[in-house]
Amino acid sequence: MDLKEAGCGVDARTHWYYRTKRRPLDRYVAETLATHDRGIDIVDVGAGSGVFSGGLIERFHHRLNRVVRVDLHYEEVGEFPEPRLAGGVIEHRRALPDAIDHSIVLLMDVLEHVPDDRALLSSVVKACRRDSHVFITVPAFDFLWSAKDVYLGHYRRYTLGSICSVAADCRVRITRAYYMFGVFLPAAFAARRLRPQADGESDLQPAPAWPNALLVGAGACDAALSRWNRLGGITAVVEGTIDV
């Protein structure tokens, strides 16, 4: 969750948007861990409130050595106790580690926030050593551009082709690329055209129980089919490994 939206009253553990977005990430981490006979680190770049790495700790803590969260806007940095992890701590940093080794790197809605997305991704790749993996999400399609993009400080939205081009240029070996939230695309388009939000605010809001449950179910169906979706969605995803 972007730190700008951390106070909007949404519980990321139960809200349909975050539950849906975690499903492909959980699947990717489970598949990656299945190919390793020892634990692995998580490096969460642009982590914000740590929603996604926190979800991975809940599900995979027995296989995770340590979690490093990187965000320019952290007020406090250092190591914080997390007894569920083998290393016993979560580290908060404002800059990338000098070396990233035997890790899964998360860039969850990060590249759209910087003027030069290739420079940022290249700096991540440069820090990676052996056996590094990457999971990238970015907002999709210029026709979905809205006041929320301005509010969150986005520079661009992407097509699957454009984010794959950025990843390939930065020596990410792409293993899978797809759109997610495809079933929500028509509603998102209509909402942003027919009911645009005011400048300086987010459209992320708490959802009442029964609509949230309905959307969680729709999101589960979307996530189950997303890896084959090359047509369209609200988010574009790249999974890959780092060539070093």
pLDDT in tens, 90-138: 999 999 999 999 999 999 999 999 999 999 999 999 999 888 999 999 9
Structure tokens at 234: 């609200």
Task: Specify the pairing of strand 133-139 against strand 103-108.
Answer: parallel
> For every residue of the chain, which 3-state class applies, written as one string?
CCHHHCCCCCCCCCCHHHHHHHHHHHHHHHHHHCCCCCCEEEEEECCCCCHHHHHHHHHHHHHEEEEEEECCCCCCCEEEECCCCCCCEEEEECCCCCCECCEEEEEECCHHHCCCHHHHHHHHHHHECCCCEEEEEEEECHHHCCHHHHHHCCCCCECHHHHHHHHHHCCEEEEEEEEECHHHHHHHHHHHHHCCCCCCCCCCCCCCHHHHHHHHHHHHHHHHHHHHCCCCCCEEEEEEEECC
More confident position, 189 or 123: 123
Residue with tokens 């701590």: 89
Is CATH 1.10.10.60 the right assignment for the domain spanning 3-242?
A: no
User: Taking the alpha carbons of 228, 234, 239, 243 in that order, is the dihedral positive or negative?
Assistant: positive
- Please give the Cα distance from 168 to 91 (Å, whole number): 29
Residue 152 has pLDDT above 80, yes or no: yes
Query: Poorest-confidence range of 24-28, 39-43, 240-244?
Result: 240-244
- Please give the Cα distance from 85 to 126 (Å, whole number): 26
pLDDT band with cut points at 50, 70 and 90 for residue 70:
very high
- Over range 201-207, report the average pLDDT: 63
More confident position, 5 or 141: 141
- Please give the Cα distance from 215 to 232 (Å, whole number): 18
Structure tokens at 77: 């940095």
